[in-house]
Amino acid sequence: MNEISWNVLNNNNLTAAGRLSMALDEADAVLIGVGAGMAAADGFTYAGPRFTESFPDFIEKYCWLDMFQASVFDFETLNEEWAFFSRFVDLNYMSQPLGESYVRLNELLEGKNYHIITSNADNAFEIAGFNPDRVFDVQGKYNLLQCSQGCTQKRYNNEALMKKMIEQQNSMRVPDDLIPYCGECGAPMELNRRNHTDWMVEDEKFCLDQKLFNNFLDENINKKILLLELGCGYMAPQVIKHPFQKMTENRSNALYMTVNLKDYSMPHEIRDRLVWLQEDIKKLLSDVEKEQQFTKMKTYETEH
């Protein structure tokens, strides 16, 4: 494969918004990796008031610092565990509002050849109107249940159950009859999310989404591809960050662009095809939208 040049790499006078806009225009295909940083940019944080206002009783009892710590806590009973997770699912899926950054990203990608892989398990892409066939939820979905023992490759919608748990819980406990158990083996059910052993139930829908993702990579192997990373850190770098970097190293036609406020070490092998934008994602996407609107206006004025 012949190495493909990217004009955006040779233009150091552009703003961050200008560089992203130019890269999007140059690319024949765009692969977007979205992590927790993008959700946080829209206010969907796992710490601060959003956390403390939703779980004051649990925080008082266990002195948790954030929802990450809480979500891996070893609860004493399933009654208490589901009292927490029912509120967690409501906050981070069922009642999560529309994210402005997701709406802008959807608009910026209109008409483009793109696919998304996300480590977030919320409903941000659904509520923003993205084509579900172009979004791969590789780490699971908070609105689904799975057998904790993985005895069956099935996932079950949990939203009606979560609402009942929220309504009926008392003193940080849900009633015994609301605790979900696997209909196949009798083991407790749990949220569909990849755990610390990198395991989760992957049903037919998951496998179809994975196939669509892999098909996109195969179909665009010889095209000029932008690997755009939005808010991916090092909590689970093996999911998006490391594969994106390896893909850039192996594809001479790829450009790796990462948007993150934190400074992470980057492999030397890809530094000649790497753009790091140390920007707030929400502001950056807003600026790109404004820049493209301005460009369209100037083009219209020139033509008329």
Given the structure tokens 């610092």, which residue do they identify? 65
Helices 281-303 & 100-108, crossing angle to 10 degrees?
40
Residue 262 and residue 231: Cα distance in Å, rounded? 9
Residues comprising the binding site? 147, 151, 182, 185
Query: What contacts 24+ positions apart, CB below 8 Å, involve 244-247?
Result: 244/31, 244/33, 245/270, 247/31, 247/217
Residue 24 and residue 299: Cα distance in Å, rounded? 18
Considering only CA atoms, which of 88, 105, 98 is closest in space to residue 127?
98
Take residue 222 and report the two structure tokens written for it.
């010889």
Per-position b or e across 213-242, b if 16+ CB within 10 A of its CB: beebeeebeeebbbbbbbbbbeebbebbbe
Residues comprising the binding site for Zn(2+)? 147, 151, 182, 185
Which residues 6+ apart lie within 8 Å of 219 measured at CB? none
